[in-house]
Amino acid sequence: MKTDNYLCIDIGGTNIKYAILNNAGNIIQNDKVKSMHDKKIFLNQIDKIINQYKGVKGIAFCAPGKVYDNTIYFGGSLPFLDGINFSERYKDLKTPISIINDGKASVLAENWLGSLKYLDNCAAITLGTGLGGGIVVNGRLLSGVHAQAGEVSFMKLTDQEDVDKIAGLQYSAVQMIKEINKNTSNDSEDGLGAFKLINEKNSDALKIFNKFCYGVATVILNIQTVVDLEKYAIGGGISAQPVLIDGINKAYQRLIEKNSIISKMLTKPEIVSAKFKNNANLFGALYNLLLNENNETL
């Protein structure tokens, strides 16, 4: 029996998050399972989720990697996804299926119902294992010739040739938290413990945190020099921490104040917390499907 609701699946390196949403963007129910890094087992996980909700009006996926014509290429932290086309895999369900890159999903979510609503020039940056990015310019989602626009993780921020000097590896939120917990007396292994030390102004934690904020601010500055956006929404689990947004804004201010030409030439964009935090990709995946159903694009 068909329903008027949609199944949205956010594929991540750590978890597969899924939810039932209506077309107004309201979550009816949601859950998650740990992502298994074996192709056969992983696909069985997806099959199991879809089998629970065969009566939905449509299925909306988002995933890491480059996504073109509903096919995933490379797959980011899940390289075994390379070449997978979920619309083809589940074609027998005879229901609309779409898939979009996770960074692009995040900006669609915020532009639809979140912190970037009604804006024609904006971006979302998701802080997690790497740096996810999605950009809207002149009211259109920026995809690029090769469907790879917004892949900010691959920015080179130094003149060193080391492969680990790309932004997504240098300024991983996951690694920042691990580093704080490792280099302090913190007994906790999660982000809450790390941010407790940051908020208490622990000097060792602050040093690591400030370096992270400076890196994220540098990424924003580099994007800003090219596309001149009005607002950036910072997402990911740690974006719920007010000190993070304050830290990135202060780091950006320090960046532009160090160079009088930059400070005079480039207007500072607004940097805010994303509304949907860790759920942005679910909403963005749905919005992408709704646009596809109506033969529209952002």
> Tell me, what's the pLDDT at 239?
92
Residue range 29-88, pLDDT digits in tens: 999 999 999 999 999 999 999 999 989 999 999 999 999 989 999 988 899 999 999 999
With cut-offs at 50, 70 and 90, classify the pLDDT of residue 295.
confident
With cut-offs at 50, 70 and 90, classify the pLDDT of residue 297.
confident
Residue range 188-200, pLDDT digits in tens: 777 899 999 999 9
Residue in this structure with the two tokens 């290429």, named with its chain if needed: 73
Q: C-alpha angle 132/145/289, rounded to 5°?
A: 60
Q: Which residues contact 35 (CB under 8 A, 6 or more apart)?
A: 11, 12, 13, 14, 15, 16, 42, 45, 78
Identify the weakest region by mean pLDDT among 47-51, 115-119, 171-175. Answer: 171-175
Q: Which domains does the chain have, with CATH numbers?
A: 6-101+279-293 (3.30.420.40), 115-274 (3.30.420.40)
CB 59 within 8 A of CB 51: no
* DSSP bridge partners of 27: 21
Distance CA 147, CA 142 (A): 9
With cut-offs at 50, 70 and 90, classify the pLDDT of residue 130.
confident
CB 35 within 8 A of CB 14: yes
Residue in this structure with the two tokens 């999660």, named with its chain if needed: 190
pLDDT above 90 covers a percentage of the chain that reads 78
Token readout for 104 is 């692009």
Measured between alpha carbons, how far is residue 46 from residues 51, 61, 142, 270 in Å?
9, 10, 28, 38
> Going by DSSP bridges, is the β-strand pair 58-63/270-273 parallel, antiparallel, or unpaired?
unpaired
Q: Say how far residue 55 (Cα) sits from the centre of its chain.
A: 28
pTM value is 0.93
Burial 132-141 (b: 16+ CB within 10 A, else e): bbbbbbeeeb
Measured between alpha carbons, how far is residue 254 from residues 72, 97, 215, 247, 258 in Å?
39, 45, 12, 11, 6
Handedness of CA 93, 98, 103, 105 (dihedral sign): negative
Q: Is the pLDDT of residue 26 over 80?
A: yes
> Tell me, what's the pLDDT at 1?
53
Token readout for 72 is 């995933």
Residue range 243-265, pLDDT digits in tens: 999 999 999 999 999 888 988 89
* DSSP bridge partners of 59: 7, 97
> Tell me, what's the pLDDT at 277?
87
